[in-house]
Structure 1
Amino acid sequence: MLLRFQVANHASIRDEQEITFVAGDDRPQRAQRPVPGTRLAAVPVAAVYGANASGKSNVVSALAWMRRAVLDSFRHWDPAGGVPRRPFRLRQDPGAHPSTYELDFAVDGVRYEFGFTVDDAGIREEWLACFPEGKRRKLYTRTGPGPDSLTFGRSLAGRRKTISELLRSNSLYLSVAAAQNHELLGRLHRWFRDDLRTASDQDYRARLTYTVGLLRSGDERSRDALVNLLRFSDLGVTRLEFHEPDERLLDETKRIQAALNDAGVPFRLDAPEHDVRVRHRTEGGTFTLELDEESSGTRTWIGMLGPVLLALGSGGALVVDELDARLHPYLADALVGMFQSPDVNRKGAQLLFTTHEASLLGNNARTQLFRDQVWFTEKDPDTLGTRLFPITDFHVRDSPDAKDNLEKRYLSGRYGALPFLDDELLRRMADDIASGGVSGAGQAVEAGRPKAAGAAQGPRLLRG
């Protein structure tokens, strides 16, 4: 299970921010599970709200970047290329500030704490500890880029010296050890690969490929689960079909891509891995449409089927950016409810998502999110860095047993994390367009370029 994530200096996140799945209250009506070695429990769902550009997506992005660093740093990062990180850039000399990522998670009944600090050149620190009996035990600590900076705890067995010799300045020790088939560290590496998954517009194709994999598998129960989830959405879809891609098209695509790359032109031409079609049944018969003929909402739901079924079936953590994008609020609500429900979520799967959909917080939602499951992001007015904070930071006078209308409080500005809309700027804009300041002449306006003598007066630029 995923327990805590902490990050500093990633994209819009300037200072250290943290999100936790540790429950604040005991709620037997949700699919919470005990944290190994403690008296605590972990919540199944955490939601992150905030205004546009407040940094919600960067919380997800930071977690996804940490995952990719674990999976790719040894096998895929350029040995001489440093670390492809995304530091906070709205300050002087951003490259001089390191970035830190830390995660608490549980695997096979044991809690682990793993983290690292990087700069543009390489790994500055890395650490891994376990809590097999509730007490912290060091597995290894790294205090510099080279193997001589590593120290090991007595709890870590295996070929530690051999693995250390393969370490690069920009590769994580965990990644190297997994590549060398270290039993324990390989198991933790697989948790990042198989049990921590992300879903965003950028990985839609991969998600669709997994959904097709469920259709192709010989597991009849998996196919039935997928079909039932399709029908549950009430999109008029009865089944999915797929056809293997044209091998000649794939070969031609690879040939063109290789020729361009050999010529020094970096280019990637994606050919569809599968031809996916959607079957609909009407009173007039059964009809099949290509996937790209479907609505964006239908395509989004189909793309979510694979990750959702995989998480619910195996108990992993699913991280979704903009859950409500192109989905009806009822469908978004139902999806959250699958993870929240002890009856549906029997393997302890977890869902972390960002959203604008305030109705999920309301009394009319199918799924009740409790106060220890709701987080907000907003921009610090001085640094423009993202602040991440829980709703539990705010005192509520209501009885703990009463269902708080979080939607009403959020939309009224009780918790912040809302956009500030300056009506005075709106009035000035209306004055400008009413006075002819904006015309349909089709003239291009470029900020900072002086107007040539005799040129026609173009639209004025609003500043501030």
Structure 2
Amino acid sequence: MLLRFQVTNHASIRDEQEISFVAGDDRPQRAQQPVPGTRFSAVPVAAVYGANASGKSNVVSALAWMRAAVLDSFRHWDPAGGVPRKPFRLRPDPGAHPSTYELDLAVDGVRYEFGFTADDESIREEWLSYFPEGKRRKLYSRAGSGPESLTFGRSLTGRRKVISELLRPNALYLSVAAAQNHELLGRLHRWFRDGLRTASDRDYQARLNYTVGLLRGRDRRSQDALIDLLRFSDLGVTELEFREPDERLLEETKRIETALNDVGVPFRVDVPDCHVRVQHRVEGGTFALELDEESSGTRTWIGMLGPVLHTLGSGGALVVDELDARLHPYLADALVGMFQSPDINRKGAQLLFTTHEASLLGTNARTHLFRDQIWFTEKDPDTLATRIFPITDFYVRDSGEAKDNLEKRYLSGRYGALPFLDDELLRRMADEIAGGGDSGAGQTVEAGRSQAAGAA
């Protein structure tokens, strides 16, 4: 499970910001899980609200980048290419400021703290501790870019020195150790690979491929669950059908990718695993439509089914950017409810999502989000840097007859994180377009000539 994520200097996030999954209250009506070795629990869902361009998507981007660094830094990053990070750029000399990423998580009943700091050239720091029996023990720490900067705790056994000799300045030790089949560190690496998943518009094809992969697999229960969710959505869809991909197209794409990568040009194309059509049953029979003929909401729902079912079925965390995009509020509400419900979410799965859908906070929502599950993003008006803060910074009643209507309070500006709309600019715009056209342009030119003549 994911317990805490902290990031400094990523995209619009300039200063240290944090999101926590640690529950503030005990709520038996939600699928919260005990945190190993503590008296705390972890919430199953966390929602991030904020205005456009406030930095919500960069919360997802930061987690996705940290995951990519763990999975790719040793195997795929150019040894001489530095660190492909995304620092905050709205200040002088952004390259002079390092970026830091840190996670608290639990894997196989043990809690870990893992993090690293990087600049444009190398990994400057890296650390990993764990808490067997609730007591903190150091596994390793790194205070520089080279192997000599590593120190190891007594709890870390295995070929740690051999692994350190393979370390590059721009690679994480965790990535190197996993590539060398280190048992303990490989377990943590697999959590980043299999237990932390992201969903955004950028990875739609990969998500669709995963959804279709469930249908093509041998697990009949997963296939039935997927079809049930298709029909549950009331989109008029009864089945998905697929046709195997064109092998010649796959081979040609692979050849182009290999050729470009061999000459130092990173290139990758997500080729569909197969051709997908959507079946609809109507009065006259069953008919199939091409996937691109379906509404954007239908395509979005189909693309989400694979990651949602896999996460609910195996545990781990799913991080979704703009959950409500192209989905009806009832569907977004139902998706959140799957993770919130103890009856449906039986493996401790977690959902972190960004959204504008304020109805999820309202009293009419199917799924009730509590105060320790709601976060906001705002941009500082002077620096344009993102600030992340929880609704618990405000007094909120979320139980009993006196429960606050969070939707109403949010939309009325009680918690901030709303766009500031300057009505004076609208009035000015109305005056400008009302007097627009060629005559307006001519008046402006004549006025400029008169001013020039007066100055002369």
TM-score by length of 2: 0.94
Q: How far does the alpha carbon of each residue in 1:156-178 deviate from its partner, in whole angstroms, 9 at most, with x for none?
A: 11111000000000000000000
Name the structure 2 match of 1:193: 193
Matching of residues 127-166 of structure 1 within 5 Å? 127-166=127-166
- Indicate yes or no: 2:25 matched with 1:20: no
Q: How far does the alpha carbon of each residue in 1:359-396 deviate from its partner, in whole angstroms, 9 at most, with x for none?
A: 00000000000000000000011211000000000023
Is residue 48–residue 353 contact of structure 2 (8 Å, CA) maintained in 1? yes
Q: How far does the alpha carbon of each residue in 1:183-222 deviate from its partner, in whole angstroms, 9 at most, with x for none?
A: 0000000000000000001111111111111111111111
Instruction: State the Cα distance separating 1:262 from its structure 2 match.
Output: 7.9
Instruction: State the Cα distance separating 1:136 from its structure 2 match.
Output: 1.0
Is residue 206–residue 270 contact of structure 2 (8 Å, CA) maintained in 1? no
AA of the residue aligned to 1:42: A
Between the two proteins, the alignment pairs up a number of residues equal to 445
Name the structure 1 match of 2:245: 245
Name the structure 2 match of 1:450: none
Matching of residues 16-415 of structure 1 within 5 Å? 16-255=16-255, 271-396=271-396, 402-415=402-415
AA of the residue aligned to 2:305: L
Aligned equivalents of 2:24, 2:438: Cα separation in 1: 54
Instruction: State the Cα distance separating 1:259 from its structure 2 match.
Output: 6.7
Is residue 199–residue 319 contact of structure 1 (8 Å, CA) maintained in 2? yes
Judging changes above 3 Å, is the alpha-carbon distance between structure 1 residues 74 and 397 closer, same or farther for their aligned structure 2 residues? closer
Instruction: State the Cα distance separating 1:260 from its structure 2 match.
Output: 7.1
Q: How far does the alpha carbon of each residue in 1:215-274 deviate from its partner, in whole angstroms, 9 at most, with x for none?
A: 111111110000001000000000111110111233344456667778998765654331
The structure carrying a bigger helix percent of its residues is: 2
AA of the residue aligned to 1:7: V
Is residue 370–residue 398 contact of structure 2 (8 Å, CA) maintained in 1? no
Instruction: State the Cα distance separating 1:397 from its structure 2 match.
Output: 6.3
Judging changes above 3 Å, is the alpha-carbon distance between structure 1 residues 18 and 400 closer, same or farther for their aligned structure 2 residues? farther
Is residue 371–residue 396 contact of structure 2 (8 Å, CA) maintained in 1? no
The range that moved more, 43-52 or 241-250, is 241-250
Q: How far does the alpha carbon of each residue in 1:336-363 deviate from its partner, in whole angstroms, 9 at most, with x for none?
A: 0000000000001000000000000000
Q: How far does the alpha carbon of each residue in 1:382-424 deviate from its partner, in whole angstroms, 9 at most, with x for none?
A: 2110000000000236767743211011000000000000000
Aligned equivalents of 1:38, 1:352: Cα separation in 2: 22
Q: Percent identity?
A: 86
3-state SS in 2 of match to 1:303: helix
Is residue 363–residue 403 contact of structure 1 (8 Å, CA) maintained in 2? no
Instruction: State the Cα distance separating 1:316 from its structure 2 match.
Output: 1.1
Aligned equivalents of 2:398, 2:311: Cα separation in 1: 35
The range that moved more, 399-408 or 7-16, is 399-408
AA of the residue aligned to 1:296: S
Is residue 432–residue 438 contact of structure 1 (8 Å, CA) maintained in 2? no
Aligned equivalents of 1:82, 1:390: Cα separation in 2: 35
Aligned equivalents of 2:65, 2:262: Cα separation in 1: 29
Consecutive unaligned residues in structure 2, runs of 5 or more: 447-456
Judging changes above 3 Å, is the alpha-carbon distance between structure 1 residues 266 and 178 closer, same or farther for their aligned structure 2 residues? closer
Alignment root-mean-square deviation, CA: 2.3
Is residue 397–residue 404 contact of structure 2 (8 Å, CA) maintained in 1? no
Matching of residues 408-423 of structure 1 within 5 Å? 408-423=408-423
Instruction: State the Cα distance separating 1:46 from its structure 2 match.
Output: 0.0
3-state SS in 1 of match to 2:4: strand
3-state SS in 2 of match to 1:359: helix
Aligned equivalents of 1:385, 1:144: Cα separation in 2: 28
Name the structure 1 match of 2:450: none
Judging changes above 3 Å, is the alpha-carbon distance between structure 1 residues 149 and 340 closer, same or farther for their aligned structure 2 residues? same
AA of the residue aligned to 2:120: D
AA of the residue aligned to 1:213: G
Aligned equivalents of 2:180, 2:264: Cα separation in 1: 34
3-state SS in 1 of match to 2:238: strand
3-state SS in 2 of match to 1:95: helix
Name the structure 2 match of 1:460: none
AA of the residue aligned to 2:169: S
Aligned equivalents of 1:244, 1:298: Cα separation in 2: 22
AA of the residue aligned to 1:339: F
Aligned equivalents of 1:123, 1:270: Cα separation in 2: 29
AA of the residue aligned to 1:154: R
Judging changes above 3 Å, is the alpha-carbon distance between structure 1 residues 165 and 252 closer, same or farther for their aligned structure 2 residues? closer
Is residue 87–residue 94 contact of structure 1 (8 Å, CA) maintained in 2? yes
TM-score by length of 1: 0.92
AA of the residue aligned to 1:48: V
